[in-house]
Amino acid sequence: MELFEYALVGGVLYGIFFSLVGIGLNLVFGVMRMINLAHGQFIMLGGFGAYVLYQDLHLNPIIGIVLAIVGAIVIGLPLYYAVVPRLQRSRDPEMLSFILFFGLAQMIEALAILVFGADQRSLPAETLGSGSISVLGQAFPDSWWVAAGVSILSILGVYLYLTRTRLGFATRAIMTNREEALATGIDVDRVSTIALIMGLALAGIAGVFVPFLLGSISPNIGTELTTSSFAIIIIGSLGRPLGTIAGGLVFGLGTMLMETYFSSWSNIVPYALLVIIVLIRPAGLFGRAVRQA
């Protein structure tokens, strides 16, 4: 029973964090109808940002959050205007953007290896607090709670942006129908750029906590994170940022329970969940993604 409670509390924390991992991908997909296959690589960059801050500048890795936001603007703005308008005029935007972002992912990974080396790097957990908090008699280190807290705040921020601001309304309008939004006079390019930057920033913020929750960060971790993110947003239904929380919790609990009871099989969880879900409800998930958001 003790083991079960451990998996339960750990799964919820892990799952909340993974909602943050997935939400950026979901936002970008919802607005641009493009799959950012380099999502995991941007998360990885966030992790290395935190690592550099701590290792070379002796700052608290949590400042990586600011760095992630700045980085997202610096990368996202030129990236959008360099590729997106051109892709949207092409004959098959969905597939070509998929291929393009895949190429981008390869480039980021190669650059990260050139700059940081291929080794795994870890950060001492004490930098985010040396204590631990217990729930149901199960103690988890502070870093896990900080990660979950930041995740909840970030997701809340996305929710408020989408439901309380003018730009958020415009964003939801584009998610529902791009052509209509354009016809109503919404500056689609501007709103989409902001969505892309937010997506990248959320990825970077999630990356800051990867060394703490996954134990280490390395340049080749990106593909795994992209696939996990994809599984999470499909479970929580595409194009609905809040659904991502449900996806993250299913993923977190599933992983933790497997890790507790069948540890050697736990790394199959995200892939198996992904395949099972898309096979059981392909039409449903896909249809809903197109109609509402």
Partner 1 sequence: MLAVLAGVFLLLPQVYGNRSLLFTMMTFIALAQGLNLLYGFTGYLPFGYVGFFGAGAYGMSLLVLYVHVAAPLAVLGGGAAAVAAALILSPLLRLSGAYFSIANLAASQILFLIVANPSLAGVTGGPYGLNIEQAFDPTASYGAMLVIMLLACAVAVFFRNSRFGLGLRAMTLDPVSAEMAGIDIVRSRLVVWLASAAVAGLAGGSYAWDISVYYPEAVFGLQLSVFAIVFALFGGVGTVAGPILGAVLLYALYSAIGISLPQYFELLYGFLIVLLALFLPDGVLSLFQRRRSAVSARLKRRRTGVL
The contact set with partner 1 (CB under 8 A) reads 35, 83, 86-87, 90-92, 94-100, 102-111, 113-114, 223, 227, 230-231, 234, 264-265, 267-268, 270-272, 274-275, 278-279, 282-283, 286
57 versus 283: smaller Cβ distance to partner 1: 283
Residue 290 forms beta bridges with which residues?
none
* Residue number, 90 or 184, with CB nearest to partner 1: 90
CB of 87 to partner 1, least distance (A): 7
Closest to partner 1 by CB, 91 vs 166, is: 91
Report the candidate in 52, 45, 97 with the shortest Cα–Cα distance to residue 69.
Answer: 45
Nearer to partner 1 among residue 170 and residue 274 (C-beta): 274
In the complex with partner 1, the residue whose CB is nearer, 177 or 223, is 223
CB of residue 4 to partner 1, shortest distance in Å: 22
| Token pair belonging to 222 | 């990106």
- Residue 112 CA neighbour count, 13 Å, CB half: 29
Judge contact between 252 and 11, C-beta under 8 A. yes
Closest approach of partner 1 to the CB of residue 260, in Å: 16
In this structure, what are the phi and psi dihedrals at residue 7, rounded to the nearest 5 degrees?
A: -65, -35
- Angle, CA 128 vertex, CA 126 and CA 129 arms, to 5°: 65
Distance, CA of 101 to CA of 23 (rounded, Å): 17
Residues 220 and 209: beta-carbon distance below 8 Å: no
**Type of residue found at 166:** R
